[in-house]
């Protein structure tokens, strides 16, 4: 079968296309890529808590070692940012992370990290896919003698403490709950706040490959237990991390979910107004217009990219970027890595709360007072292959002039099809790069209008499916 890298690496259904044999093929392509650019490369390998992630990671390690590549293999599950940090700090030629991030439990995947400690750039992905297409093997060479295990957590945590004032958070008296969603971010906040363990309560901090029957994605519908815990126990906030710890979701003290656009905007506001940092801002195609308005108010340039953190990473490496983020909750910060990191973003939000003495919902109100109110929602719609093949052609050839009573003022096609409206709202249709889904994104000036836009979009999809 054809193996293609999507928005962030290669993902597949365990036992169907994500098999030991196919993992071995991908590992050999990675080995070919590394050896084509380095004479004696070092590669670090990490894995999350998914079913068989540790076994797949060991398979990759053995293939790389069988090709003469020195391998450092994490001794236990780690987050993707930890793996990225180790890749950069150890001077490795690359890093491999076995994870399917926020995808359903039946999926697993492989992310490749560059030596700079961030997502593989588009040209790197293309080069690896060339190696895949050029080599079809029945079994890659394997070896175990060139593999060492290591624990990368301590240096990573020490680095975070150079960015965030942990004592300020401790002395503020705030308390918070953490939901790693059974993923590999388990235990990190407890380690960071070991000096004051009563500040943090963690739930879902055991290995459960079914993720409790939900996808490990920190969005509102998956965080009911965290929301109830925060509101009933009087916590200042709740922080949720996805399956590999690079995305953040937030619950306010009143139990209300704070979406990723709001988190992005608040962190931008904090970095500029309180940390006094400067630099350009990067947002992906599906990210809120709040970011443009807020950046403009600070005199900061905004770059818009296709969806996928590899595009944001590319700009981090080539320009002076303060913050870069995406709708899915992945945000990268200047002075850390060219990589999204849910743990760092959670710590910065706690520091913001400690600095101001305001609750998360109060910080949001201050933001809205600054730029106005924005409302957003997303739906993921399963689509047949036939509908996917017909969709772009049908919509682009016969675009609607109005949607949910709003006149379409512009159509953008950077990544998917986005309809823009005069009232600062928009509606985006985009096929997922990792699952058989059509994602519908909408933003408007009131919640009711968001739901009308999504409803109209759903009707359009239903018509195409007929």
Q: How far apart are CA 48 and CA 180, in angstroms?
A: 12
Is the pLDDT higher at 132 or at 99? Answer: 99
**What's the whole-model pTM score?**
0.92
Buried b (16+ CB within 10 A) or exposed e, 197-220: eebbbbbbbeebeebeebbbbbbe
CB 99 within 8 A of CB 211: no
pLDDT in tens, 140-160: 677 778 899 999 999 999 999
Buried b (16+ CB within 10 A) or exposed e, 294-311: bbeeeebeebbbbbbbbb
Q: Look up the CATH number of domain 375-465.
A: 3.30.310.50
At residue 233, the pLDDT reads 97
CB 182 within 8 A of CB 208: yes
Rounded average pLDDT over 225-235: 98
| pLDDT of residue 385 exceeding 80 | no
- Mean residue pLDDT of the chain comes to 93
| pLDDT of residue 320 exceeding 90 | yes
Residue partners of 19: CB distance under 8 A and separation at least 6: none
| pLDDT of residue 386 exceeding 80 | no
Q: How far apart are CA 285 and CA 153, in angstroms?
A: 33
Q: How far apart are CA 418 and CA 8, in angstroms?
A: 22
H-assigned helices in 39-152: 53-66, 80-89, 122-134
Among 42, 46, 40, 49, residue whose Cα is nearest residue 9: 46
At residue 363, the pLDDT reads 98
| pLDDT of residue 302 exceeding 90 | yes
Residue partners of 54: CB distance under 8 A and separation at least 6: 47, 77, 98
CB 212 within 8 A of CB 204: yes
pLDDT in tens, 246-268: 999 999 999 999 999 999 999 99
- Token couple for 60: 């990759």
Rounded average pLDDT over 75-92: 98
Confidence of residue 384 (pLDDT cuts 50, 70, 90): confident
Q: How far apart are CA 195 and CA 212, in angstroms?
A: 30
At residue 53, the pLDDT reads 97
Identical fold for domains 156-371 and 375-465, yes or no, is no
Fold of 10-151: Alpha-D-Glucose-1,6-Bisphosphate; Chain A, domain 3 (3.40.120)
Is the pLDDT higher at 373 or at 270? Answer: 270
pLDDT in tens, 52-79: 999 999 999 999 999 999 999 999 999 9
CB 454 within 8 A of CB 406: no
Phi and psi, residue 266, nearest 5°: -65, -40
Domains in the chain: boundaries: 10-151, 156-371, 375-465
Confidence of residue 137 (pLDDT cuts 50, 70, 90): low
Confidence of residue 462 (pLDDT cuts 50, 70, 90): confident
Among 70, 72, 224, residue whose Cα is nearest residue 149: 72
At residue 138, the pLDDT reads 47
Q: How far apart are CA 232 and CA 210, in angstroms?
A: 27
Fold of 156-371: Alpha-D-Glucose-1,6-Bisphosphate; Chain A, domain 3 (3.40.120)
User: Which H or E run includes 377?
Assistant: strand 375-382
Longest pairwise C-alpha distance within the chain: 66
pLDDT in tens, 20-58: 999 999 999 999 999 999 999 999 999 999 999 999 999
Is the pLDDT higher at 249 or at 438? Answer: 249
| pLDDT of residue 389 exceeding 80 | no
At residue 318, the pLDDT reads 96
């Amino acid at each position: 079968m054809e193996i293609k890298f999507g928005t962030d690496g290669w993902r597949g259904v365990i036992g169907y296309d994500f098999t030991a044999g196919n993992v071995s093929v991908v590992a050999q392509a990675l080995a070919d890529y590394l050896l084509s650019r380095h004479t004696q490369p070092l590669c670090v390998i990490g894995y999350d808590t998914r079913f068989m992630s540790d076994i797949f990671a060991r398979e990759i390690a053995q293939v790389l070692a069988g090709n003469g590549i020195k391998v450092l293999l994490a001794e236990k599950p780690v987050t993707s940012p930890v793996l990225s940090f180790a890749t950069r700090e150890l001077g490795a030629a690359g890093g491999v992370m076995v994870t399917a991030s926020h995808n359903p439990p039946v999926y697993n995947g492989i992310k490749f990290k560059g030596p700079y400690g961030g997502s593989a750039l588009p040209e790197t992905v293309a080069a690896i896919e060339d190696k895949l297409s050029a080599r079809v093997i029945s079994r890659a060479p394997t070896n175990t003698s060139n593999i060492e295990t290591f624990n990368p957590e301590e240096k990573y945590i020490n680095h975070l403490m150079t960015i965030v004032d942990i004592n300020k958070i401790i002395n503020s008296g705030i308390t918070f709950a953490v939901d790693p969603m059974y993923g590999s971010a388990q235990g990190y906040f407890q380690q960071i706040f070991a000096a004051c363990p009563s500040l943090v309560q963690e739930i879902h901090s055991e290995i459960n490959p079914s993720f409790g029957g939900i996808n490990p994605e920190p969005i509102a519908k998956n965080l009911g237990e965290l929301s109830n815990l925060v509101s009933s126990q009087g916590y200042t906030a709740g922080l949720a991390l996805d399956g590999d710890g690079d995305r953040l979701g937030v619950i306010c003290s009143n139990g209300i979910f704070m979406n990723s656009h709001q988190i992005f905007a608040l962190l931008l506001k904090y970095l500029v107004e309180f940390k006094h940092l400067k630099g350009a801002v990067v947002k992906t195609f599906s990210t809120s217009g709040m970011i443009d308005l807020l950046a403009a108010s600070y005199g900061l340039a905004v770059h818009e990219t296709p969806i996928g953190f590899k595009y944001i990473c590319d700009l981090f490496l080539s320009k002076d970027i303060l913050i870069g983020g995406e709708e899915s909750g992945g945000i990268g910060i200047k002075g850390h890595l060219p990589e999204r990191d849910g743990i760092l973003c959670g710590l910065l939000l706690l520091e913001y709360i400690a600095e101001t003495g305001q609750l998360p919902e109060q910080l949001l109100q201050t933001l809205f007072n600054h730029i106005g109110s924005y409302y957003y929602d997303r739906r993921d719609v399963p689509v047949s292959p036939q509908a996917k093949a017909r969709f772009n052609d049908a919509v682009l050839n016969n675009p609607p002039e109005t949607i949910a009573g709003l006149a379409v003022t512009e159509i953008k096609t950077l990544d998917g099809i986005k309809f823009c409206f005069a009232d600062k709202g928009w509606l985006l249709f985009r096929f997922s790069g990792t699952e058989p889904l059509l994602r519908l994104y909408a933003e408007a000036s009131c919640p009711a209008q968001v739901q009308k836009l999504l409803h109209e979009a759903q009707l359009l999809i239903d018509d195409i499916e007929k």
